[in-house]
Amino acid sequence: MTGRTLPQGAAIIVLGPGGMTLAQRLQPLLPGSEIHAPAGSELPAGRYFGRAVDHLAGLFIAGTPVVGLCAAGILIRAVAPHLADKRLEPPVVAVAEDGSVVVPLLGGHRGANALARVIAEAAGGVAAVTNAGDLRFGLALDEPPAGWRIADAERVKPVTSALLAGESVRLRLEAGNADWLGALAFTETGRLGIRITDREPAAGDADLVLHPPVLVLGVGCERGCDPAELRDLALSVLAEAGCAPAAVAAVVSIDIKADEAAVHDLGRHLGVAARFFTAEELLTQTPRLTDPSEAVFRETGCWGVAEGAALAAAGDKGTLLVPKRKSRRATCALSRAAAPLDAAAIGRAQGSLTVIGIGPGAAFWRTPEASAALAEASDIVGYSLYLDLLGPALTGKRIHASPIGAEAERARQALALAAEGRQVALVSSGDAGIYGLATLVFELIDSNEDPAWRRLAVSVAPGISALQAAAARAGAPLGHDFCAVSLSDLLTPWPVIRKRLEAAAEGDFVLALYNPRSLKRRSQLDEAKAILLSRRQPETPVVIARNLGRPEEAITVTTLGALDPEQVDMLTLLLIGSTRTRTIAGQIPRVYTPRGYLDKPESP
């Protein structure tokens, strides 16, 4: 290997139990990967699909790297109709179920060869790499190390062909180093050449120009700065130095700007990460600043943000190419490192927290968004039972489990981990915003307990709620207006809950009852039943849904009059029909609520 990075987010396709063991071994080796398996197979996958060929085609069209533990022909038939531009197509790798042979079918220089070698090494098999450059030199010029950019991809083929033909090829090193090209032999003269530089190539330059990630843009700005202003300033600084934007390794600033939209916009514009330093870290750069500012110190705790961040990122051997330049609301400085930089090792990223609803428990009820957030997370926080339900999705993650009843501590821990620059997933059952942890997270942020929490990237990935799952299992009881009430009085006084039950009964809503009964709370369900019976007939349909999405799942259809509270516990959700809800009798009773309450004339 030559320092190549593996493609992120590969889909590991398993068609049967024979490939699952190898898939589970490969998942932690392939960053952000997820195992896909056929629906109904009961294989422990993160995502399930119907027709394999259609699913594979969809992944390929979406640009998702595919690792298929199946016959190569299946993959070829699935993607062949969609082949168009090899520069844009994702890698596709076929792997024998026993790992004996790994074949990069497409995208060899877009990561497939690298994937094949890693998989073959892990499985003890052979990577059937066929690209000439890889076979002869063990590297590909159009697959440089992470962070490197190619100025003109059309120049790769003639230079590679010349090297393979034994021709003399020049190497000009103007920035960084050429360590990854060590297997190649260069001369002082030659018809073609490779130039490693952080400068913009001249018009008509015949060399293959490679840009190493050696430049760093240090930025500062006022709160709410227009992204266009910072972007224009940064590009003007690069132009002043005659440097190529493609050689920028990262955009850096002080950590209090971790949530600043303009900083992240600049990173996205340049296709690089935004990274951040603490004021204490920037203070160490004070002797190297050209223009220490007392005003900046009063505001931030360091004497210079743009220059300080640029120099801190470039390291002790780095140099300041362009000192601080100012626009109306922003500052920018440019530094150059002595060697190519790994952006992930610079400062820290903006921490992120995704609050994930995993549904009732079964993997096939987990949304693709939730699965993607789990795959991207470095740390996963949750109640131990819910984490157990995730199974293989936890592979390769830092796990932070806690007992039941520790919701506030769990949310605080997730926020604190994210504030360290980690990518955190906080797991909630059902939908995280329905009696879940999402509200608690926002309450804590709003409390200002830790100002750093406001600088995090916080998102919520919805899940299938228990009421949705129970309704689907029973038929369609939520076909008209409905509401949800929790019978737990741990956070809500019982008189308030009683008032809501009375209102729901009076309004003739279908009612979902969460937390209906526990070992300590025995009387609330009886009282709720009495309130509802005062407005509804004893024959009103009731669905008792217990252990949804788990092996012990049980769905019982009864009536309000026959409802026995002894059948109910904290793992149960109740759906109580309105006056219009009906039951279709049968071996498996079906409950539904008509969509309308008005009698409609029959169509002629």
Give the residue numbers spanning the domain of 202. Answer: 149-211
| 341/423 same-domain check | no
Tokens of 265: 């916009």
Q: Are residues 293 and 245 in the same domain?
A: yes
Average pLDDT over residues 513-526: 88
Residue 134 has pLDDT above 80, yes or no: no
Domain shared by 26 and 102, yes or no: yes
Residue 137 has pLDDT above 80, yes or no: no
67 and 156 within one domain: no
| DSSP annotation of 327 | -
The answer to the question of residue 437 being in a domain is: yes
CATH of the domain at 362: 3.40.1010.10
Whether residue 204 is contained in a domain is answered as: yes
Q: Are 357 and 462 in contact (CB under 8 A)?
A: yes
Short-list 18, 48, 17, CA closest to 35: 48
Percent of the chain with pLDDT over 90: 71
Q: What is the DSSP letter of 351?
A: P
Domain's final residue, options 406, 432, 464: 464
End position of a domain, from candidates 211, 240, 260: 211
Q: Are residues 158 and 59 in the same domain?
A: no
* Euclidean distance between CA atoms 416 and 425, whole angstroms: 12
Q: Are residues 327 and 441 in the same domain?
A: no
pLDDT band for position 167 (50/70/90)? confident
User: Does residue 141 fall inside a structural domain?
Assistant: no
Residue 338 belongs to a domain with what CATH number? 3.30.420.180
482 has a pLDDT exceeding 90: yes
Are both 230 and 190 inside the same structural domain? Answer: no
**What pLDDT, on the 0 to 100 scale, is given for residue 162?**
87
The number of helix segments (H) and strand segments (E) in the chain equals: 18, 30
Please write the tens of the pLDDT for every residue from 300-329. 999 999 999 999 999 999 999 999 999 999
- Look at 490 and 103; give whichever has higher pLDDT: 103
**Residue for token pair 């003007």:** 236
What's the whole-number mean pLDDT along residues 14-25? 92
Q: Do residues 87 and 31 lie in contact, with contact meaning Cβ atoms separated by under 8 Å?
A: no
Give me the number of domains the chain comprises: 5
Q: What's the rounded Cα separation, in Å, for the pair 279 and 580?
A: 64
Verify that 419 and 519 share a domain, yes or no: no
- CA dist 561 and 284 (Å) reads 74
- My answer on whether 199 and 250 are in the same domain is no
First to last CA, the chain: 74
Q: Is residue 137 part of a domain?
A: no
Interacting residues of 463 by C-beta distance below 8 A, sequence separation 6+: 356, 357, 358, 359, 365, 366, 367, 370, 428, 429, 430, 431, 432
pLDDT at site 597: 64
pLDDT of 4 reads 56
Q: Residue 1 pLDDT > 60, yes or no?
A: no
Q: Are 544 and 584 part of one and the same domain? A: yes
For position 580, what pLDDT does the model report? 95
pLDDT at 483 over 80: yes
Report the pLDDT value the prediction gives residue 2, as an integer from 0 to 100: 42
Share of the chain above pLDDT 70, in %: 97
252, 335: one domain: yes
Answer yes or no: is 143 within a domain. Answer: no
The reported pLDDT for the residue numbered 549 is 79
pLDDT confidence of residue 603: 46
pLDDT at residue 40, rounded to an integer: 85
CB distance 281 to 248 below 8 Å? no
Any domain includes 4: no
CATH number at residue 119: 3.40.50.11220
Alpha-carbon distances, residue 543 vs 88, 122, 294, 345 (angstroms)? 51, 49, 68, 54
Question: By the 8 A CB rule, do 38 and 52 touch?
Answer: yes
> Residue 142: inside a domain, yes or no?
no
Please tell me the pTM assigned to this model.
0.81
Would 75 be classed as within a structural domain? Answer: yes
Please indicate whether residue 219 or residue 178 has the higher confidence score (pLDDT).
219
Query: For position 491, which CATH number holds?
Result: 3.30.950.10
**Confidence check: pLDDT of 573 > 90:** yes
Domain final residue, candidates 130, 165, 199:
130
Place of tokens 């409905």: 482
Q: Are residues 281 and 311 in the same domain?
A: yes
